[in-house]
Chains A and B, each alone.
Chain A
């Protein structure tokens, strides 16, 4: 039985999460009607334990478990990322004034379930497990998006998400099947290794004869990742779902789910094209995939920013902003270099702080004013100065201005983009930064430049404190990004 028990240690976090998910469900049943908050605290504690386990793992040599699971620092990074965002999302749920707290057990259960999906997604080189993890994440997300099942917007969001997600999953599966047919394996490392001399033909062999079928498979698979990351043209669901879903879920989708997409993409591309013994023809092909990604990046950020400009709903605006940020992240991916991936990962980390903060602000403000329209923000800065200042910091960071972590992230992306010779792409990104200023600062303008309407804002000191902490971290890591960068570098072993 050791063959089963021993590798389970490697899966401890996943197991713990599963237990926590079920625990939340059961706990809610037990506590029903009494204190729904307790489930939240339970979730937080579980997440903390998982986080501690994961922390202890950093720096370990990569190990494999059960043939498919790979426990490495790259995965650990994104697991930590997921846990950390989930913790914040949990606090959001706890502080969400729009949440009726009925069925809160299911809420946490689905969130934790999605996290399990992410955990598997980011710690495997096997396409099956990747697919399963992705689907688990998706299924949980669909339900979460529609969690306020009595609200039409929420229901509509869930419907759109599930339709789009189902199609994307199908398309991706079809792509995976083609890849399988072309290389005879489902393991990415195997796929990259296969030389083409022996049977099955292998990636290198396929590319030597014709790149067309590979291209087809590649596009179909990438479409799946692109959908998770909301990259144009697979982004259409994003604004509608973000707007319709409960705000903590939106946060989860915008941060953790997107990060999972990035992680899977990085894993996929890294294993296929940047592995240690990749054939030169494959590496060359990787560069042209990079070109495709660069085009997608440019289109994505441009479209995201331009669309964001006219939004009246803050959530929708942030949805487009998150599309634009997917474009920025793709710069790092498109370089197809280790350093580029590092930059993308760093940007993810930056994105964590600023987007959690921004969505937290949305939640706060939605909860106090009952609307997420930008117009309603008028003069809010004078009523709730602390979180408004924090929000401005997040906006500054989203725009990519010093001294925030968003700037440093963008700096790294630009640098790697330039280093890889993608001048036009960096140029487009730079222009986009300027454009993005326009709508980000429309929010700042509403907050501080408009006269406040009368009335006061109820206080949520703890929640505001959380936002303040995020704000401080945004600046702190903006000025001293070394810690995170070191961390990212250690986690990315390409």
Chain B
């Protein structure tokens, strides 16, 4: 299995080409092709996941590497590889995209374009996760913008144009900052290779000029950080998220919440912190503060929502705050927790958006106050929703708990004792998260049944098929976290070593 990473990444592209070549009318065939084109990468990624020996990258380095010269003019290479941090996310991507296809079967508008864009999106996302070359990384990073724009913009809700352009503008604003930072890194280090940059950073060789009165490492760090933080999204860069989520069709929300947000966190761990370890250390507390603000603020704003999907969207803001808090703490546990949180949130929030999608398909509105008593006509739906929500609120035996607990424990142990205060504040977020989720359950499922909803059918097998695997994963990694943590651990440990340089 040489070039397996490339195969995983580009098989969807082949699928996309195939779909483009198919006639518009043969919707069934298009769907089947999409299933195959996302299914094969999933199989390969699963194989890869269990083939991967975490110990082989214990001291840094990457597995399944490929290096092919690409643009000689600027010595950018096609270098790809995985380590314990990216591999689970690749797997997650393949899972969600695969589930995204049947979840999209309800879409009845320009199916051909839809599935083609969906597959293109997968290429972009997977590309980001496998890239070891910053230029390549950036190219993939931007590639995924466009399909997302159209997926929201064409198949979205009533205000889809606004949401799509907002999403695009925010992300692009972040990415131009990133681009400037990347270029100055290239000028400062003479290479695009991320591992090389990291090595140079260890030796303190990443140096460059001042800008707007900040020294090199600081401004480059913040430029990169903002670029990624918009994607995470971190307060106060989060306002694109609710709009994009609310307007996006369900499978796109699922992918958006499940993976795209992870790109931000992953980018920080791969391309920002290890390259600027000193600036990271100097600003770690600020990152922690941002993380905690996101946690608490996101949960409070979610509590204030009446729109089901907006609420779920803000819960993402809250949950992704842990990623920042955990990494900022600079402890192995914290970083473990952050990496785990990315996966856990990827499954739980994806499931949550499917939950919203199920009810939206039936009721065509998302007003939390407009439901009630739905557990009576839809017991399976209620059951899965409950699992999903409890996964989201960090109930033990769910992967979210492991992630949050590790994050908080890690943060609490941080060398910087001020982090303990942050942890104490962040637990407010935990309680409020429980509050808005339970309140939502109460408003949607309990109480007297609205007559309008009496005859709603329960979840269809297709919907169950889309949601159940995610919940299963939540449970699986909640009960057997070592399946995930064992893969991540050596890389995380190495990351922490990298970040602690000079400490």
Contacts and interface: CB of A to CB of B under 8 A. Distances in A.
Q: Do chains A and B touch in the complex (CB under 8 A)?
A: yes
Given A434-B172, A482-B71, A401 B180 contact: no
Given A414-B183, A430-B176, A482 B169 contact: no
A399 B168 CA distance: 12
B160 interface: yes
Contact of A401 (B110, B142, B164): B142
A438 interface: yes
B143 to A, nearest CB: 6
A421 B172 CA distance: 23
A479 B209 CA distance: 30
Nearest to B110: A382
Nearest to A486: B73
Contacts of B186: 415
A444 B164 CA distance: 11
Contact of B153 (A385, A431, A448, A486): A448
A444 B150 CA distance: 9
Contacts of B143: 402-403
B430 interface: no
Contact of B179 (A414, A423, A437): A414
Contacts of B338: none
A485 B74 CA distance: 10
Contacts, number: 91
A430 B110 contact: no
A433 B187 CA distance: 21
A426 interface: yes
Contact of A434 (B139, B140, B154, B176): B176
B212 A423 contact: yes
B180 A427 contact: yes
B55 interface: no
A407 interface: yes
Interface string B173-206: 1001101100110110000000000000000000
Contacts of A445: 153, 161, 164-165
Interface string A464-494: 0000000000000001111001100100000
A223 B375 CA distance: 74
Contact of A418 (B72, B141, B173, B183): B183
A438 B173 CA distance: 11
A167 to B, nearest CB: 37
B180 A485 contact: no
B134 to A, nearest CB: 11
B405 interface: no
Provide the main secondary structure of the chain B interface: helix
Contacts of A114: none
B62 interface: no
A411 interface: yes
Interface in B127-143: 138-143
A411 B183 contact: yes
Given A448-B153, A482-B71, A485-B73, A437 B169 contact: yes
A438 B165 contact: yes
B192 to A, nearest CB: 11
B160 to A, nearest CB: 7
The listed residue with most B CB atoms (<10 A of its CB), out of A403, A411, A421, A444, is A411
Contacts of A414: 179-180, 183
The listed residue with most B CB atoms (<10 A of its CB), out of A419, A438, A441, A481, is A441
A396 interface: yes
A31 interface: no
Contacts of A489: 73
A423 B168 contact: no
The listed residue with most A CB atoms (<10 A of its CB), out of B154, B177, B183, is B183
A434 to B, nearest CB: 5
A12 interface: no
Nearest to B184: A418
A485 B70 CA distance: 13
Interface string B115-159: 000000000000000000000001111110110011001100000
16 contacts: A382-B110, A392-B146, A401-B145, A401-B146, A412-B74, A415-B183, A418-B187, A419-B187, A430-B176, A430-B177, A433-B176, A434-B172, A438-B169, A441-B165, A444-B150, A449-B153
- Please list the 8 inter-chain residue pairs (A to B) with the smallest Cβ-Cβ separation, ordered nearest first: A430-B176, A485-B73, A402-B139, A402-B142, A449-B153, A415-B183, A423-B211, A434-B173
Given A403-B139, A434-B172, 9 more contacts: A382-B110, A396-B146, A402-B142, A407-B139, A419-B187, A437-B168, A441-B149, A444-B149, A449-B153
